[in-house]
């Protein structure tokens, strides 16, 4: 069969335009499928960057929008195994109230941030400045870039929840959660400021503020995390505000649950694209075989066996599809790198920068292309090789 490969290649060159168009369609489809196949892994990578296996989220059992007593914080800190804990309280601040909140901003316990978020590569000098400055704020790098801010700038936010308009001085940045295995970090858009600043401002309005949104606690040993989460929830059972504790990855997974649904839709789109290409390639293979019925009949008449004809016709479809699919696989690598470069220039692209076409995806793409060739070429090849020579010749002549 190998000795007939030159014949197979020559047959593919009979109609260069048709071959190029069919190959181009397969190339683009495989490239698109490979990129879409990276999305679940990319989403997991994003969650891994946002999560730490020793950090625990504690929030109201009714949902994260419900408040809990501030006294809960010290009770959580007193639990053996908890290194430290910090409260987050949603401020809902907006630069322009008409545009609404464009980045998440929270009142936090300034002196506990560095301990709980030790993996965020915070600058010690900036943290010290933040802790001693009543109006200081730590701002995520993405929010800094999106708004054109720099350290030292004054920023005014008007709350969409409280009757307040507060001015802050940016004391430092929040680079993000560094990956354990690389120097990459997540471009967090957060805006953290002193809880005491919020409490004092509300007190001036005659409002006593003794609640918090949720608590983030860091545990000294990953093995203790399940037991401590259970202990926290048991501690506040039957209280005025029962709690639900979960790991940081679980918290963000729940928070982005709608994105998970989108991933299912995208995977379905990838499947539909593959099916469309199967039909296109099958139609092309059928046209190619139909146009060469006279030649096939002559080859049968001079001694070419059915299996040999079936093999050469099938090899044409498989070779074209595999070659185009391989090119599509490498095109997906280039596309992923281009998206990453675009994300570096424009942090707002965020998740697109996490698309990494792995070796497993590359192998899957090439196998899919080969499978498309086999599936689309098998039926017309089988029909042509089994067709009666006399019947074919009578129809032609």
Confidence of residue 257 (pLDDT cuts 50, 70, 90): low
SS3 readout for the chain: CHHHHHHHHHHHCCCHHHHHHHHHHHHHHHHHHHHHHCHHHHHHHHHHHHCCCCEEEEEECCCCCCCEECCHHHHHHCCCCEEEEEEEEECCEECCCCCCCCCCEEEECHHHHHHHCHHHCCCHHHHHHHHHCCCEEEEEHHHHHHHCCCCCCEEEEEECCCCCEEEEEEEEEECCCECCCCCCECCCCCEEEEHHHHHHHHHHCCCCCCEECEEEEEECCHHHHHHHHHHHHHHCCCCCCCEEEEEHHHHHHHHCHHHHHHHHHHHHHHHHHHHHHHHHHHHHHHHHHHHCHHHHHHHHHCCCCHHHHHHHHHHHHHHHHHHHHHHHHHHHHHHHHHHHHHHHHCHHHHHHHHCCCCHHHHHHHHHHHHHHHHHHHHHHHHHHHHCCHHHHHHHHC
Q: For residue 180, what pLDDT is reported?
A: 35
State the pTM of this model.
0.61
Q: Tell me what percent of the residues of the chain surpass a pLDDT of 90.
A: 38
Q: For residue 263, what pLDDT is reported?
A: 67
Q: For residue 222, what pLDDT is reported?
A: 87
Task: Give the residue extent of every domain in the chain.
Answer: 2-46+258-396, 67-240
Output the average pLDDT for the chain.
82
Whether the per-residue pLDDT at 85 is higher than 90: the answer is yes
Write out pLDDT tens, residues 1-59: 566 667 677 777 777 888 888 888 889 888 888 877 776 666 666 656 555 578 899 99
Q: For residue 252, what pLDDT is reported?
A: 67
Higher pLDDT, 15 or 393: 15
């Amino acid at each position: 069969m190998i000795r007939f490969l030159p014949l197979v290649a020559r047959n593919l060159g009979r109609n260069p335009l048709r071959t190029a168009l069919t190959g181009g369609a397969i190339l683009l489809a495989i490239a698109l499928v490979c990129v879409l196949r990276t999305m679940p892994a990319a989403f997991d990578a994003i969650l891994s960057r946002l999560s730490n296996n020793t950090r625990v989220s504690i929030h109201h059992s009714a949902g994260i929008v419900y408040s809990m007593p501030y006294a809960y914080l010290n009770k959580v800190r007193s639990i053996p195994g908890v290194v430290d804990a910090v409260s987050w309280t949603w401020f809902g601040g907006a630069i322009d109230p008409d545009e609404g909140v464009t980045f998440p901003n929270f009142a936090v316990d300034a002196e506990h941030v560095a301990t709980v978020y030790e993996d965020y590569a915070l600058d010690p000098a900036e943290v010290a400045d933040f802790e001693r400055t009543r109006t200081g704020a730590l701002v995520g790098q993405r929010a800094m870039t999106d708004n054109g801010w720099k350290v030292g700038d004054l920023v005014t936010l008007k709350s969409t929840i409280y009757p307040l308009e507060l001015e802050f001085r940016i004391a430092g940045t929040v680079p993000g959660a560094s990956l354990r295995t690389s120097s990459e970090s997540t471009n967090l858009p957060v805006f953290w400021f002193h809880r005491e600043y919020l409490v004092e401002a509300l007190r001036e309005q005659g409002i006593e503020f003794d609640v918090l949104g949720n608590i983030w606690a860091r545990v000294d040993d990953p093995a203790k995390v399940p037991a401590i989460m259970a202990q926290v929830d048991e501690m506040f059972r039957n209280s005025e505000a029962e709690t639900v504790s979960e790991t940081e990855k679980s918290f963000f997974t729940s928070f982005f649950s709608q994105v998970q649904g989108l991933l299912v839709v995208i995977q379905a789109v990838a499947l539909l694209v593959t099916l469309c290409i199967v039909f296109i390639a099958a139609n092309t293979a059928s046209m190619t075989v139909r146009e060469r019925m006279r030649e096939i009949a002559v080859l049968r008449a001079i001694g070419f066996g059915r299996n040999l004809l079936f093999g050469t016709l099938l090899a044409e479809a498989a070779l074209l599809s595999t070659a185009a699919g391989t090119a599509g696989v490498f095109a997906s690598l280039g596309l992923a790198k281009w998206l990453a470069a675009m994300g570096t220039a424009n942090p707002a692209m965020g998740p697109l920068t996490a698309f990494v076409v792995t070796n497993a995806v590359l192998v899957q793409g090439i196998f899919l292309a080969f499978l498309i060739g086999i599936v689309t070429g098998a039926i017309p090849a089988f029909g042509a090789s089994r067709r009666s020579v006399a019947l074919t010749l009578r129809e032609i002549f």
